[in-house]
Amino acid sequence: MIAAVANFLAGLIVTLGVLILIARLAFSLPEIENRQDTQALPPTTEGALAAALASQEEAHGGQTGVAPLQKGADAFAARILLADAAVSSIDAQYYIWHDDLTGTLLLGALRRAADRGVWVRLMLDDNGTAGLDPELAALDAHPMIEVRLWNPFNLRRFKMLSYGFDFFRLNRRMHNKSFTVDGHATILGGRNIGDEYFATGPTAPYVDLDVLAVGRVVADVAADFDRYWRAGAVHPAGRIVGAPREGDPLATRLAGLETDPQLGEYRQILQSSDIVNALAAGEFGVEWTTAQLVSDDPIKDEGAVAREDLLASRLADAVGEIETRFDGVSPYFVPGKAGVEAFAQLAARGVQVRMLTNSLDATDVLPVHAGYAKRRKDMLRSGVQLYELRQQAAVDAPIDRLGPFGTSDASLHAKTFAVDGARIFVGSFNFDPRSTTLNTEMGLLIDSDRMAQGLHDAFNADLRGLAWRVELDDGDMIWRDPQTDVVTTDEPGTSLLRRLALTIVGWLPVEWML
C-alpha cells in the first residue's frame, strides 16, 4: 500500500513537471537581444520648469530641494502639471498603474506631452497593468513614446495562471516608483498610479506619502531609471501586448470619463494648482538640503544577491548608528525573526523605537497582517512601541489635525521612517521579507530636521487618535485608544473566521514571501 502511494506521488510529480515544462515552452517570452536601450536626456535649459528652477539650482549648487506631497489630490496635480510643463523628457517607473480615472488622465498627460515632441519613457511592472494592454500598445506605437514591461506575464488573458508554471520568476517584482520631468524634477515615494492613491474613487483611499525633489538628486534618479531600463527583466511592451488595435483606445477611455463626477473635481484641483510658478516664486515649501537615493540593483530580479548589495543593507549603512529615536511607518510590516532581534537591540541600547502599521481592520492584505501578528508580542516584550491605524480613524478631524496621515476610513500605504530628529526616509520599501529579498525598491534618505521632527511629533501625539496603541497587560495584548483611554482586549476588526485565517497563515512557511 505504502509503495503504491509513493509510486503514485512520484508519477504525479513527474507529470506536473512535464506539464510545467510544456507550458513554459508554449508560453515563453520573446527574446530581447535586439532591444535598443536609450538613455535619459540631460537636463534641458529650456521650458518653464528649467526657468523656474535655474536661479535656485545655482544658489544651492550640489544640494537637493525636497517638498513632501501628503495629500493625494496634491500628489496627482503635481504629476499632471509637471507633465504638462515638460518640454524635453518624462521618465515614469511604477509598480501599479490602474485603468481608472487618475490612471487614464495621467496616460493622457503623457500622450499630450509626446504630441508636443516630449520624449516619454514609461516602465511598468506587468503585475499592475491589468486592463491596459490596448492603451499601452497604442502609446508604444507613438513615435515619441517607449513603453517597457518589467518581468511580463506569459499569458495576457488570465494572467495569474502564469504563476502556475513560472512562479519563481513572476514572484519577483519591481516595486519602484518615480516620475522625472525634463531632468529637473522628480516625484518618488509610496504612491502607485490609481484612484485610491490619490484619495478619490469608490474604494477606501490609501494614506500615502511622496516627495517632490529638485536639484542634485534628480540626476541620480535619472541614472537609476536607465539602469532599470536596460535590465534583463525589461521587455519592450509591443512584443508583449501586441500591435495596436484599430481606433484610439485611450481617447475612447478618456471620453468615457466625461460623465464621471470626480472628473470635474479634479479639473478644479488642476485649475487651482500652479506648481511651476510656485516653485519659481519659492512658495512650494521646498527645503534645500542633502538627500541620497538608495535603490536596489535590478539584478535582484534574477535571484539571490549578496546581503550587502540589498537596499535594506545599503539603507542601514547610509543611516548609520541610531542614537535616540526611530519612528517608522510601514503598511506591510513583517519584521521576521531577524527584524525583531534588530529592533530589540535598538531598544536595549535605549533607543526609542515606535512603529505604525495597519490594524487588522484597516489592512488590505490579511496574510501580511498574519506575518506581523505572529511577531507582535515579541516586539512588545523587547520594548518596541506598536501602533495600528484604525479603519475609521478620526472621522471628523480636520486635515491639519491629521498631519501626515490625514484621512478617515483609510488603509495605510506610506513607507517612511525618521531617525534622531535629523533624517527621514521616504520611498517604496516596506519592513517585510518581500521588500528585502524579492522586490526591487527605491527611496530617498533626506537630511531634514523639519521633516524628521514632524514624524516624531506625530508619534509623540499618539498619532492624534488615528491609531490604536498596542500594549501588554499581564502578558496579554490590549488595544488602547490614546485619546479616550478606552481599552479593548479583542483585536479590532477580528472575527472567528479572521482569527482562524490568521492562525493558519501564521503556521504556514510563507513568511519569506510576505
> Which residue among the candidates 248, 260, 274, 420 is catalytic per the annotation?
420
- Which is it for the CA torsion 49, 54, 58, 59, positive or negative? negative
* The Cα angle at residue 443 between residues 439 and 446, in degrees rounded to 5: 155
Residues 270, 327: Cα–Cα separation, whole Å: 34
| Structural contact between residues 187 and 210, judged by C-beta atoms closer than 8 angstroms | yes
Q: Which of 184, 300, 369, 415 is an active site residue?
A: 415
Among the listed residues 74, 126, 133, 182, the single catalytic one is 182
Which residues fall within 8 angstroms of residue 283, CB to CB, at 6 or more apart?
none
Decide: 282 and 258 in contact? Cβ < 8 Å: no
What Å distances lie between residue 34 and 94, 124, 222, CA to CA? 24, 20, 23
Residue 71 annotated as catalytic:
no
**CA-based R_g, the chain, Å:** 23
Question: What secondary structure, in 3-state letters, does 28-43 show?
Answer: CCCCCCCCCCCCCCCC
The answer to whether residue 374 is catalytic is no
The catalytic residue among 91, 100, 140, 175 is 175
Q: How far is CA 270 from CA 1, 105, 274, in A?
A: 72, 12, 8
Annotated catalytic residue within 91, 126, 140, 177? 177
- Cβ within 8 Å of residue 210, ≥6 positions away: 68, 69, 75, 78, 187, 188, 189, 190, 191, 426
What angle, 0 to 180 degrees and rounded to 10, lies between the N-to-C axes of helices 261-272 and 72-85? 70
Residue 175 annotated among the catalytic residues of the structure? yes
3-state secondary structure of 443: strand
Q: Which three cell numbers stand for residue 45?
A: 535649459
Residue of 235, 300, 369, 413 with catalytic role: 413
Gap between the terminal Cα atoms of the chain: 39
User: 420 catalytic, yes or no?
Assistant: yes
| Residues catalogued as catalytic | 175, 177, 182, 413, 415, 420
